[in-house]
Amino acid sequence: MCGIVGYVGGGQAAEFLVDGLYRLEYRGYDSAGVATLDGHGVLHLVKTAGRVDRLQARLERAPAPGAMGIGHTRWATHGAATDANAPPHLGGDGSVAVVHNGVIENHAALRQRLLADGYRFLSETDTEVIAHLVDHCLKGAGPDADLAADGYEALVAAVAEALAQLRGTFGVAMMFRRRPGVLIAARRGSPLIVGVGRGEHFLASDASPLVGRTGRIVYLGEHELAVVTPGDLRVVHRDQGRVRHRVEQLEIDSGQVELGPFDHYMLKEIFEQPETIRAVMAGRIDHDAATAKFGGLNLAPHELRAVDRFLMTACGTSWHAALVGEYQMEALARIPVEVEYASELRYRNPPLCGHPLVFAITQSGETADTLAALREMKRKGYCTLGLCNVVGSTIAQESDGGIYLRAGPEIGVASTKAFTSQCTVLAMLALYFGRLRHLSFDAGLRVIEQLEQLPEMVAGALETNDAVRRIAEKYAGCDNFLYLGRQFNFPTALEGALKMKEISYIHAEGYPAAEMKHGPLALVDANTPSVFIMPQGPVYDKVTANLQEVKARGGPVIAVVGRGDTEAASLADDVVEVPNVDDFLQPIVSVVPLQLLGYHVALLRGCDVDKPRNLAKSVTVE
C-alpha cells in the first residue's frame, strides 16, 4: 500500500524514481507521480491517476529533469484516485513537495486551521495537509529560514515542528524549491530506507527499488528524521537529537526481484518454495540436541521454559499460518495456544494468566493491525516475538525478539511462499518448545527427519502443476467453490479458499469438513465444486465420509490426497496426489496445489494475478 522513492545525486532523478515506482507496484496503488528539482530551481511535477505506465507516458511527453526528486505510488485513502489527488503534493506556493505513506488522523482539523490561515487546497488528501503545514512552519521560522546557511538546522526545525503536530502514522519524503540538493525524510510507524551510493543517496519505503543501485542501506528508526544530500546523510531523533546511523548490507539480489522465466511473480514464488523452506531451516536445526535453535529469541532458557501459553496474532494468510501453528504447538509442545485476528486483538482485553508469549506473524512486518496489536500487548507487559519476512520492518524492530522467514521479497500480492515459511518456522518452534518439555530425544529426531525432507516433498507437490491446470480448465467457469479439510488441514482449506477468492474473484469458502452439515451443505450443487484436502492421517476416514455426503448431493469433488490413495480416487471427480508427510507438516505440502489452482483459474478468467483488484500487498492502514 503506497510506496515512496527519492533521489539526490548526480544522475537524472526521474530515471531512478520511475524505475523504483515500477518495483513498488506490487504493494498495490491507484495513482503515481514524481516531482524533480532542476538546476535552475524549477520544480517539475508529473502525476496521474492509474498505473506507473501512464506516468511514464506522461513523462515522455513532459520530462521532469533534475538531479533530485521524490516519487510515490498512492493507494487512495483520503479522496478518490484522481489526477488532483495523485502525489506528490505541494505546500504553500510550491515551496515544498511532499510524498507520504500512512494516515494522518487529525488531517481535518489541520486543514481547517490552514484554510483559516489562507492556504488553498487542490486535493482532498492528508498529504497536502502535511505539505502546507511544513510551508507554514517554514514561514513561521523567518522569511528565509529555508535558505539559512546553518547546516539545514532551521529547515529541520521547521519540518520537525510540522511533524510534531501530526497524529497518526507516516513515512514522508520532501524537498524544498529554494534549497536544491537536500531531501528530508522522516518516519513514524511507516518504514523508510536510505540507500547509500557514491555521491548519491536513494530513498525508498522498502528495499526493492534499491536492488542493483546500492548494496548499502540505512533503516530509519521510529521518530527519526534524515537530512540527505548527495554526499552526506545525517539522522536526527525526535528526542535524542543527532544519532549515529548504522549502514547495513542489503541482502536482496536482482534475481529475487525479477520475474526470470516466469509469467507472474505469484507463480515464481510458488515455485521458489522448496528453496525458501530450505532457507528458513538453514542453521536452525540442532541434531545433537534433537531440537531447533533460533538466534533472535532474546529470552533466557529459564524464561522460555516458563512460557505456558501462546497468543498468536496476525491477519489474512498469516492468520491461517497461526492456525496451523496452533495445531502444531498442541501436538508437539502440548502448550495451549490462542489465535486471534490482530484487528480484533487490538481492541480486545483478553485476560491472559500465567506466562504467555505473544507471536506477531507477518510477511511484510508492516500490517497496521498486527503492529497495533503487538504494541498493545507490549504495553501490557507481555513478551513478544515477531515472525517477519521483511528484514528491518517495523514489527521486526519493535518485537522483543524475532525470527526472520528468509523467504526473500514476496512481490505477488497473494501470499504463497511466506505462508509455507511461516508454517515451517512454527513447526520448528513447536519442536523447540516440545523439547524444552516432554518431547523425547528420539521423537525430536523424528520431527527433524520430517522437516529435512520437507523441501523435497514440496518440490513433489509442485509436480501437480499440469494436473491442476487441467482441473482449473474444467472448473474456471464456476462462481462458487468450497474448501474442506479437518484438523491440520482446516487452516489449509481456509488458505485455499482465500487464494481462490483474492485473485480470481470467485466466491470461495473454507470450512472444517464436518461443519458442512451445519449449513454450507445447502450450497452444494452441480456448479459448486468442493475441494477436499484429505491426505492420509488420523481423520482420513472422517473426511472421506464428508466427501461422500457432498457426492450424494450432486456436488463435484476435487480431492487433494496422499500419493497412492486409490480410495479417494474412486470417489472424487478429480484427484491431485501430493507426497505423504506427517500430519503436522501436511498444510505445507497440501497448500501447494491449492495455490496453483487459484493461480490457473485466475489466469483463465483473465484476472491480473499479481495485482488483484482492491488489494494491496502491505496493508498499512487500519
Task: Give contact residues for ligand F6R (rule: CB under 6 A).
Answer: 315-318, 362-364, 367, 370, 414-415, 498, 502, 618-619
315 is catalytic: no
Sign of the C-alpha dihedral computed for residues 506, 21, 417 and 322 taken in this order: negative
Nearer to ligand F6R, 316 or 512 (CB): 316
Q: Report which residue's Cβ sits closest to ligand F6R.
A: 316
Shortest distance, CB of residue 430 to ligand F6R, whole angstroms? 20
To ligand F6R, the closest distance from the beta carbon of 318 in angstroms equals: 4
* H-type alpha helices, 70-219: 107-116, 126-140, 153-164
H/E element holding 33?
A: strand 31-37
* Least Å from the CB of residue 364 to ligand F6R: 3
**Could you tell me if 363 and 416 are in contact, meaning their C-beta atoms sit under 8 angstroms apart?**
no
Least distance between ligand F6R and beta carbon 516 (Å): 24
Select from 331, 329, 503, 321 the least CA-distant residue to 407: 321
The total of other beta-carbon atoms located within 10 Å of residue 250's CB is: 19
Q: How is 469-481 classified by DSSP, letter by letter?
A: HHHHHHHTT-SEE
Is the CB of 96 or the CB of 607 nearer to ligand F6R?
Answer: 607
For ligand F6R, give the closer residue by CB, 340 or 502.
Answer: 502
Q: How far is the CB of 596 from ligand F6R (least distance, A)?
A: 14
259 vs 610: CA distance, rounded Å: 11
Rounded to the nearest 10 degrees, the angle between the axes of helix 441-462 and helix 586-604 is 20
| CA dist list (Å): 456 to 275, 330, 354, 376, 450 | 9, 26, 40, 40, 10
User: Count of CB atoms within 10 A of residue 399's CB?
Assistant: 27
Residue with Cβ nearer ligand F6R (36 or 393): 393
Shortest reach from residue 485's CB to ligand F6R, in Å: 18
For 363-390, the DSSP string reads SSS--HHHHHHHHHHHHTT-EEEEEESS
Give yes or no: 478 in active site: no
Catalytic, out of 47, 417, 499, 617: 617
Residue whose CB is less far from ligand F6R, 172 or 387: 387
If the CB atoms of residues 36 and 364 are measured against ligand F6R, the closer one turns out to be 364
Catalytic residue (one of 2, 315, 383, 607): 2
- What minimum distance in Å lies between the beta carbon of 415 and ligand F6R? 3
Question: Closest separation between CB of residue 252 and ligand F6R, Å?
Answer: 17
Q: How far apart are CA 567 and CA 549, in angstroms?
A: 15
2 burial (CB, 10 Å; 0-12 / 13-18 / 19+) is: buried
Give the nearest distance from C-beta 125 to ligand F6R in angstroms: 23
**Residue number with CB closer to ligand F6R (370 or 424):** 370
Distance CA 187, CA 197 (A): 21
Judged by CB, which is closer to ligand F6R: 64, or 345?
345
Q: C-beta of 611: minimal distance to ligand F6R in Å?
A: 12
Tell the residue number behind the cell numbers 524549491, with chain if given. 177
Peptide bond into 356 cis (omega under 30): no
In b/e form, how buried is each residue of 260-277, taking b as 16+ CB within 10 angstroms? eeeebbbbbbbbbbbbbb
In angstroms, the Cα distances linking 222 to 166, 192, 238, 397 are 14, 10, 9, 9
CB-based burial label for 470 (10 Å; 0-12, 13-18, 19+)? exposed
**Beta carbon nearer to ligand F6R, 197 or 485:** 485
Identity (one letter) of the amino acid at 220?
Answer: L
Instruction: For residue 14, count CB atoms less than 10 angstroms from its CB and return exposed for 0-12, middle for 13-18, buried for 19 or more.
Output: buried
- Alpha helices by DSSP H, 478-585: 489-504, 540-552, 566-571
Nearer to ligand F6R, 77 or 370 (CB): 370
Q: Which of 591, 587, 550 is nearest to 568 (CA)?
A: 550
Catalytic annotation, residues: 2, 617
